[in-house]
Structures are given as structure tokens and as C-alpha cells.
Chains A and B, each alone.
Chain A
């Protein structure tokens, strides 16, 4: 019984919309204050990556229930340039945009599960899950 809602990312304002959606869903599911901040921050990082690198894409938030264990799944999809070297992109401090380079490895640390699929020229799909403790 997964319920999904999505936000299309095209402008900077959509980043705000995406993280507000995420925060509301996290609150609804009963995540604590710290986990809410973790989820909101992760969504913000992923949405901003789409905005900066792919210019447009989509962030979806899904409620999950696995054997009575509730969680929240973030799916960030774009059809942008893709990531050439995923291992490099997952390294702390690596950035091609002049940012802090904390984005992807940071999201991985903030969430419980993290998966990235990317092919150069085709796009990127990132899935991240947080379970309720």
C-alpha cells in the first residue's frame, strides 16, 4: 500500500515545494523532529542536484509499509546528462558545480538506504529510504 506524490522540478521554487511535501509526509508518518530534518535536507539536496545538473526532473515521495515497518521513500528522477563516475560523485568534497560537495554522500548518510542508477547522456535515478525507528 504505497502512496506516492510527486513534484516536478523546473525552478528553484520547486525545490522548496518538494521539501515541504517531504516534511509533511514525514510528519504524517510520525517521524521524530531529527528524522524530519534529515528527510527534508535529503530531499533538498536531491532536488537541487536535479535543478543544477539536469535542469528538470521529478522528485517523488512514497509512504512505505514493509511487514508493519513504516518508512518513507524518496525517488529523484531526471533525464539530464547523467553521472560519469558514480564513485567519484559519492566521494566527500567532490563537486563539479562549486558547491560543498556534500550532496550525494551526505544524502546517503542522512537516509537508511540509498541507491543510484545513472547512465551518461540518459539520466539519473536516485532512491533513498528512511525507516521509522
Chain B
């Protein structure tokens, strides 16, 4: 199953709605980079509101895709990380430093605009 990636003006919107297995996560990494290349988007918002746990593998895939997007000139904001997910990530020892975060999709888009200087 593939995660849909939507284009909104010069941004890409991704909402992950179900539990990520390893294949889906890797597929998503590939799809997102292709989409950035295709659309020349300079911002990405990934919404994780429906995700109720993230292990170190998925965290690594997410961290990687953020850095890869940065290399391609697109800024990424992660939104809607649940309290339980944040606590487990911190306890695992993953703090995702340098990652932009926002409370929800709306604030994420605002932050992206701010970061892109619009």
C-alpha cells in the first residue's frame, strides 16, 4: 500500500494514516523524493496525527527522508506527533534534533511559509 502525496501550490502534503511497516516506509521515502523532483516543491508537511508509535527503524527512515529532502532543496515540517509517540521516541534516545515540528497541519503550513520567507 502506498502513502498518497498531495501537492498544494509549491508544497507537498503527506498524511500517514495507518501503521507503517518497513516496506511502506521505504517506498514512501522513494516516492516522496521522486515527487519533490517532479514538482519542484520547496516545502513538505508530513502529518503523523494517526500514528500511535514510531520505532527506531521508522524514525531513521523519517530522519533520512528529511535530510534527503533538504539536499534537494525542500524543507520538511513534521506535524501532529502524539504525546505517547514523543515520549517513547525520547526514551528510545531519538530526539530528531533539527527537525521542524508543529502541533497540527494548519500550524505546520504556517511554519513552512515562515521558514520559506513567504
Contacts of A110 in B (CB 8 A): 88, 91-92
Digitize A99-113: 1 where CB-to-B-CB distance is under 8 Å, 0 elsewhere.
110110110011000
Query: Given A41-B92, A109-B91, A110-B91, is A100 in contact with B60 using a C-beta cutoff of 8 Å?
Result: yes
A-B contacts at CB below 8 angstroms, number: 77
Contacts of A50 in B (CB 8 A): none
Contacts of B19 in A (CB 8 A): 16, 20
**Interface size on A (CB < 8 Å)?**
27
Asked if A125 CB lies within 8 Å of chain B CBs, one says no
**Interface size on B (CB < 8 Å)?**
23
B52, B83, B84, B88: most-surrounded residue (chain A CB, <10 A): B88
Binding site for B on A (CB under 8 A): 12-13, 15-16, 19-20, 23, 33-34, 36-38, 40-41, 44-45, 48, 92-93, 99-100, 102-103, 105-106, 109-110
